[in-house]
Every structure is written in structure tokens, then in C-alpha cells.
Chain A
Amino acid sequence: MALFNSPARVFLAATVLRLILLVYGGWQDAYSAVKYTDIDYMVFTDAGRYVAKGESPYARDTYRYTPLLAWMLLPTAWEGAAPWSSLTFAFGKALFALSDVLAGWLVVQLLVRCYRFPVERALRYVAAVWLWNPMVANISTRGSSEGLLGVLVAALLWATLTKKPILAGLILGLAVHFKIYPFIYGVSILWWWDAERDGSATACSDLLSKAFRFITPSRVKFTVAALASFVALNLVMYLQYGQPFLHHTFFHHLTRIDHRHNFSPYSTLLYLSAAGGAETRFEALAFLPQLILVVVALPLVLAKKSLTTAMLAQTFTFVTFNKVCTSQYFLWYLILLPFYLPSSSLIRKPTLGISAAVLWIAGQALWLHQGYNLEFLGLPSFVPGLFLAGLFFFAVNVWILGIIVRDGGEGAGEITVALK
């Protein structure tokens, strides 16, 4: 298709799609009692208004994010006459949508420069998975901040694959400050960035010198930069907003009990145990399988074979094994798919790919049907409905994860020509 010959056209189309959704969203908000704008966006903008008044963003209930987000959305607090106020209100959504497009651009750059993709092929995959994906455009234009994570992860990959350890570290620190989970990428990048990648490889059999050789300038720079940006950001925020910042940005996410129904296989068990009905405390160990895979096993086995596939598998595992899982979490691994899909067995073997897609969608559909029965019809579908649907969806995800791991072992998504 001629459209994919020109990056300008692909990005223009992605931008126009988001502009249309922004205008449509403004229209729906103005003329319908059912709002296009996400509830979370109201939380962000309320918090932005508190900050504009010189107060803490945590004065807004359920604001559980870094103050950076409220600061970024300060323009939404500007008061103005009718046309201006709706423009300033949409500022944050426009920012999130722009981050989407920028993330897509970074991924295309990487595919072309580091993965030696023809421009057309790179554009086709990124457009299909991310830039033209209506779900991605919808989420960011409704005002969910997940799009910001997309650009941070894409930038982290860009800095890493173009061998800029300090920049990569700074971005990682910022990303973890923003939304804890990207810390998992730090492990993969560290393991991946051996002396060979730095271009100073000499084989070494002695165990001690091997261990010593683990410490390379790039790894040190990356680690120090990551720690520095993470600590500096938290220190600034702590000095500014004190304990509420720590509580709402970090501790809340570590101590919350997610008793409400969600896609996680732990959901029913957590409800049972939160209500005091469980005999064992199995869920207290839920972090073990999740962290063993995400922090140790997956980076160790896959990172050096294919960094992006390792990161995809980590994200996929993190979401699948997490104690809480909502549809926004699926966005986290979407940004990494364009690196993996082109050489994956899901594309090479269409039957496998289609089966995976069908099963994944079926898992979602089964769960959503049970969720609808509970949420809207008021049927007690916790057991067996939601319980089994959650476990089935988990099983499908684990099966797909197995395919990603196998492909990663075969070098799917690996850089064919290292950049120098």
C-alpha cells in the first residue's frame, strides 16, 4: 500500500485520528451527560488545580500518582473564556496523545536503524499495533496517562539500543518514579549490556575475572544514572509534599487490597481472604512467582538473546501474574509488540497466531460476560463464573507467554545488525 511508503503520511494519519477523537470527545462532553473523558482525567485535572492554588495534589482523593503529572497538567487549571477553557482543559489529553505519536515514532526509528527494517515494513507494524490502534488512541484522548509510559519505555529502548547508558538510566529512573513497574526493565538492560555490547569483548574463562568483568563502564553509568534520577525525583517530591507523596505514589500500591473483581487470577481469592474467609495466606506469596520470573529467570535467559523480547515477556508476565489486572495494563506490552511480532512464530505460523488471538479474545469475552452479569445484572457470578474465567484467561496468557519465551530463545526480535 502506497500509504506506508511515507512516514509523514502514517504519522499524519495517526495525528489526525487523535485530533478527531479529541474534538469528538470535547463535543460529547459538552452535549451528553455520558462523558467521553476518563474519570481519572478529572482526578488529574483536579489535582492540577490544587497545585495551581499552591496546595498539594494529594488534597484530591484517589490521586495516586507522582506530582509530576499534576505539574504537567497545570495549563488545564488556567481559567479563561469559553473557547479557551475547553482548549486548556484538553491540554493534558493532547499531551498524552502527542506522547503516543512520539512513542510510535521512536519505535519506527529503532526498527529502521537498529533492526534494519525497510521503512515501509516498520511503519506497517507500528501503525497496526500502536499508531493506528483505536484502543491506544482512545485511551490517551480520554485522558489516561498510560500513553506517557509508552513514550518513556520507547525512549528507554532508544537510549539503550543506541548505547547511551546515562540517558537510558535517567529515563529508567523517571519511568520507575512515574509508575513503579518499569524497574523490571532495569534488570534486563543491565544483563544485556555486557562488555561485548560495548565492543570490548575478550573471552574469559576464569570465573573470578568473569565476575569482575560483569562490572562494565556502561553498566555502572546506567545504574548510577537510574538511581540518581529516581532518588533525586523522589527527594524533590518528598521535600515538597512529604509523607502523602510517599504514601499515595508508592505505599498505597504496595499495601492495597484489590478485592474488587478484575482480570487477575487472584481476584476471587483476594476477595475471599480480604473478607476473612481464607484458611491459608497463599496470596501473601503471590509476589514470588511473579518476581522470580520477571526479575530473575526471564532477563537471565532471554535478555542477551533479544532485549526487546525479554522486556515484552517480562511485561506480559508481570501483568499476567499480577494481583490486580485491568485493561489499561494491556497497553504496557503493546508498545513492545512491533519488535517481536515480525519474526515471531505467531506471524510465521498463521494458525498459531490466529489461535492465540482467538483464545485471548475468548478469555476476555468470557470474563467480561461474567463481569457484566455481576456489575449490571446483579447476579452473584463470583463463583464459578468470574473465578473460572479469570483462571482460563490466566492459562491462555501463560500459554502465549510460553510461545514468546520459545521465540525469544530462537532470537526473535533480536537486532540483526548491531549499531555502532
Chain B
Amino acid sequence: MKRRITFIQRVDASFDPQQAVLTASSLSVRGLDAAREDRITVGLDELPEELRAVLEQSHELHLRWASERSFDAAVPFSSRVSPGLHAHYTPLESESSSEALCTLLRTIVAPNKDTQFKGCSKQEESFITPPLLSTRFASSTSLQYYTYLPSIQSLVEYIQNTVCGKNRTDGSECHTRADALLSADSVDIDYDSDSHALTVSGLWNSPPTGGWTDQFQKPESAADQIEFGLLGADAGLEPEEIKMGGLLAVVGQDKKLKPTMFSFPSRHQQLTEPSSYTVSFAPPTGLHPTMSISMPRSSLKRPPAPSDATCALHTYLTLPSTIFGDQYQLATTDPLFLESHNLVALRALAGEMDLEAPDWVVQRWGSNWLLELATPPEAEDGTSAPDPSNWTATIPLHLRYLPPSETGYRTAHIPWPVVFWACTTEDDTKMSVNPFDRTNLGWDGLFGPRTLFYQLQPAGDRLVEEIDVPVLRLEGGDSYFQGKYIELGTCVVISLGFIWVLWRLARVAWLSGIGSKPAGTVHDKKE
């Protein structure tokens, strides 16, 4: 087992050497004002049997969870996914069908009793295959799954019950570390069959009140290792580079903290000027809600990418099956439609596209949409006063029919999409040398390997929108709103209508038979 603990201090944060003290057997930090990433790498043989069975069938498995709380991402951890749990998976054998991964996911997601979220039953039934439209994807897993997940309580309990086994000597330590994940902004879990190792990363973008105070003991086993880093990040010499400097140590090996300075290319970059966006659905949402993504115009300056790079603003939507886009409507090339919504084009889509199916018929979790957004035209001369109004892109969406409920409504939870600039460069940069590199986010695989990403920061208290979906109201008890009254009412009215028409026909037949000579009318038919 290997642990890597990285504290990233902002440029303006204060630091006193007394705040990080290394001894022969431990390292302690006190009141540290920093972002923090904890990364634990565990070999396959150290894992419980149940988990190993799932991983041994996997070629790649990447879980990405993001909190729905708003947070400011710190360099070099600026990449984002929509709030909730994303699973990116490639089985070892492409045709293999297994319920093991779904069983694992259900354990992690449970006890989410909200039935409108698609439970995972079998991966080929619940996962979607990205992407359908794009031909420019570089690398992505073959299957993808998403579920709304406000808290990872169940994941933490799962780790405590199975990974922090009773036979481990660091059982209580393991429990504490797992509990700490509850306050993380995002959690990544990665496995691939080449390394045969599982990596769990937690990210906290801001410290708890009073700063980070913690102690890291030298591991008892010689096979285990704890790496420590206390770093600051800054822009590198090249636009695609990040420069980092600070102190590094391996606990129990190094005598003192070693000063260091290094730089590396990074696919995820920070925008130099603060830039934010908000997401909303204008009421009344009806059955056809329109998603609005609003950004201050000042947020929409071209990112500081190399001058030869082509940059475009994108949004990547993660839509649960309750809500969907019409691929024919959104894939249009009609400039009038696109301009009226401030869209440029639909770049990629995957998942449930059925325009007619109710939610209970849809099996897979939902759909993903990559759209290129328009940006405001540059002012002719730089001297004009900045336009204070927001720039808003809108995406027309549609709701599926949901099962009846007692209130007449059901709630659809729609995570905010991510909004980012993608800048494609010509250089052949090796992004993977980045020790903090992050891939398999869903949207990154839809771009070439030489693309730089600049995230806009979502600005809101909660990064999930709730829509009240009107449904058939069915109540229990003595209420009139019961299924049986609908059945009875329909049956009675149709039957009465049927009998009425039959009665009218019977009268006609009685009065004038079924032949061609109606009684009582003069009929001068030719002889």
C-alpha cells in the first residue's frame, strides 16, 4: 500500500516552517491553509475477495464522484465532472456479461431509495456506450454509467466494512481516513489491468476551519510507503505547463523535508481571470424545460492558450433518463435555431435517445451531450465600456413521463453540466508525465490528446437543479384520485357511448331494415 498526501498552498497563503515537522518516524502538520489530495494505491492482492472478483474482470474501471456543494478548484486539480457518481468501465472481455459491477455499484449507491434513478442491474442494460457522433475521440472506456449521489456515506461504510478488514493492524486509522472522505469535494477510484493496483483519491479544495492538523506515522510494513508533499503552484514558462515548488518527503526514510521545484505539462489548466457560470431552468418548466447556462461576459475571454491553438467553449451535459434532448432538434445546422440559443453545434451524444418512451420503459441511466457554445462577438474597439449583462446559452430539453405519485409531482434531479474551453494545439505534448494528471472524466475523451482544458467555475450553493415533473396523481384511502376510479370511469363512459351508438343503429334497423330503401324518404332510384 502506498499513500501520497499533497497539500497545495495558494500563493498568498501564509506558511511557517513549524507547521510541518518531520521526525524519524512521523510527520505532522498543524493549521495548514491548503488544498489537499490524499491518494492511496493498493495492490490487488491486498483487497477483499469480493472487490477483487470485480476488478479481475475489468480492463479499466474509473469511478468519479463529485459533491453537489460548490467549491473553488485549486491548481492543478482544476478539472471537474457534474455532481454525482460516474463510472467508466471497460470489461476485460468485451462480450462478457456480468452483474458483479452492478452489485458493487448498488452497494456504493445504496440506500438511495429514489426509484426514479435507474438501479444498475446488468452492465449491458444499464450502461451506455460513448460516443455516437464524434469521430475525434482519443480514448475513452467502452461503457459508462451515472447516478445522482449527494453523499458517499455508503461508499465510506463499504470501505470500512470490507477494505479496513479486522485483521489489519491499521484498522482504526483506515476508518478515520475513510470517514474523512465524507467531507471531500471529489473522490476518484481507478483500476486498470496493467498496473493491477487500485487507486483511491480524495480531494479537498479548502481546509477545515483552523487549517489541516494531522499526523502521518511511518508505516509498519516495509512494503508500505507514505509520500508527503507541501507545494505551491504557478503558471509555467510555456502556456501548457504548470510550475510547482515546495517541500517533499517520504515519511520514515527522509531525514528532513527536501525543497523542490519542477514543472510539467498539464491538460487541465486554470483560467487567469475569474470566470463563472450558473445553471437554471426558467419557470414554468412544463414538460419541456429549457436549461440556461449564464456567464458574465467578462468570463468569456479566450483562455491563455498558445496562440496557434484553436479554442472553443463547450458544455458537457449529464442527463438522467428523466430528462432528454431531441437529437434531431439539437444536431440541426440551422443557424437561426443555433443563434437563438447561443449554440454552435452538437459535438457528441450518447445514451438514451428515445423521444417517446416513458421513464419506466427506459433501461439505461440516461444520456450525455457535448455541445459547443457560442461566445459573444469581440468588441470592435477595446475602449467601449464592458457589457454588464450575462451571456446565456440555452438548451431545449424534454421530460419523460414518470410513474404516478400521491402528490401529482415527482422530482427530477439534474446535475449542473460542466462548462469549459477546449484548446487544441499542434504540439505533441506528453500530458501523462503530470503527477496530478486526471483523465476518464467523460468529456475529455471526446477531444484529441493535445487538447488543453480550461474550466469555468460553477457559482451556486447547490450544483444540482430540481424540477417538479407533473405526473398522474393517485391517492390511497377514500380519495377520488384513485386508479380504480379512472378504470371504472373510463369503462362506464366507453360502454355507455358504445351502447348509445348501438341503440341508434338498432332504431334505424328497426324502422327501415338494413336494405337500401330507407322508409319515409322519397327515393327516385333508377329502375
Binding site for B on A (CB under 8 A): 30-33, 39, 42, 46, 61-62, 194, 196, 259-260, 265-266, 268-269, 271-272, 274-280, 282-283, 286, 289, 292-293, 297-298, 300-302, 304-305, 317, 320-321, 374-384, 387, 391, 394-395, 398-399, 401-402, 405-406, 408-411, 414, 416-418, 420
In the complex, the answer to whether B501 meets A317 with C-beta atoms within 8 Å is yes
> Cβ of A383 and Cβ of B516 under 8 Å apart?
no
Q: Give B contacts to A, CB under 8 Å.
A: 283-288, 328, 334, 336-337, 339-341, 353, 355-356, 358, 360, 401, 403-404, 407-409, 468-474, 480-481, 483-484, 486-487, 489-491, 493-495, 497-498, 500-502, 504-505, 507-509, 511-512, 514-516, 518, 520-521, 523-526
* In-complex Cβ contact of B360 among A276, A384, A409 (8 A): A276
Q: Which residues of the partner chain A approach B493 to less than 8 Å between Cβ atoms?
A: 265, 391, 394-395
Kindly identify which residue among B284, B355, B523 contacts A378, using a CB–CB cutoff of 8 Å: B284
Closest chain B residue, CB of each to CB of A273: B487
29 pairs, CB–CB < 8 Å, chain A vs chain B = A31-B336, A61-B353, A271-B404, A275-B360, A279-B487, A293-B498, A293-B501, A298-B505, A304-B514, A304-B516, A305-B508, A374-B287, A374-B470, A376-B284, A376-B287, A377-B284, A378-B283, A378-B470, A380-B471, A381-B470, A383-B474, A383-B481, A384-B480, A398-B500, A401-B501, A409-B508, A414-B521, A417-B525, A418-B525
CA distance A320 to B498 in the complex (A): 11
A405 and B501 form a contact (CB under 8 A): yes
Pairwise interchain contact B498-A375, C-beta atoms closer than 8 A:
no
Q: Are B507 and A409 in contact (CB under 8 A)?
A: yes
How far is the CB of A83 from the nearest CB of chain B, in Å?
Answer: 18
A410 and B502 form a contact (CB under 8 A) = no
User: Which chain A residue shows the least CB distance to B328?
Assistant: A42
Q: Which residues of B contact A283 (CB under 8 A)?
A: 490
| Min C-beta distance of B145 to chain A, whole Å | 23
A-B pair count, CB < 8 Å, reads: 195
Give the distance in Å from the alpha carbon of A186 to the alpha carbon of B421 in the complex.
63
Is chain A's binding surface mostly helix, strand, loop or mixed? helix
B508 lies within 8 A of A302 (CB) = yes
Give Cα A268 to B493, complex, Å.
13
Greatest chain A CB density within 10 A among B480, B494, B523 is at B494
Q: How far is the CA of A417 from the CA of B527 in the complex (A)?
A: 10
B518 contact from A46, A300, A410, Cβ within 8 A: A410
B473→A375 contact, CB < 8 A: no
CB neighbours (8 Å) of B469 from chain A are: 378
Residues of A within 8 A of B523 (CB): 411, 414
Q: B486 and A269: CB pair below 8 A?
A: yes
Contact A33 B340 (CB under 8 A): yes
Minimum C-beta distance from A77 to chain B (A): 16
A32, A380, A417: residue with the most chain B Cβ atoms closer than 10 Å: A380
Chain B residues near A297 (CB-CB < 8 A): 501-502, 505
Q: Which residue of B lies closest to A416 (CB)?
A: B524
User: How far in angstroms is the closest Cβ of chain B from A356?
Assistant: 15
Contact A272 B501 (CB under 8 A): no
User: Which of B337, B497, B518 is A398 in contact with, Cβ under 8 Å?
Assistant: B497
Q: Once the chains bind, are A300 and B514 in contact (CB under 8 Å)?
A: yes
Query: Which chain B residues border A196 with CB–CB below 8 Å?
Result: 516
Report yes or no: A395 in contact with B484, Cβ–Cβ below 8 A. Answer: no
Residues of B contacting A381 in the complex (Cβ-Cβ under 8 angstroms): 470
The CB with the most chain B CB atoms within 10 A, among A30, A277, A292, A320, is that of: A277
Known: A32-B336, A378-B287. A417 touches B524 (CB 8 A): yes
Q: Which 9 A-B pairs give the minimum distances between C-beta atoms?
A: A409-B508, A380-B408, A380-B470, A33-B340, A304-B516, A398-B497, A289-B498, A411-B518, A405-B504
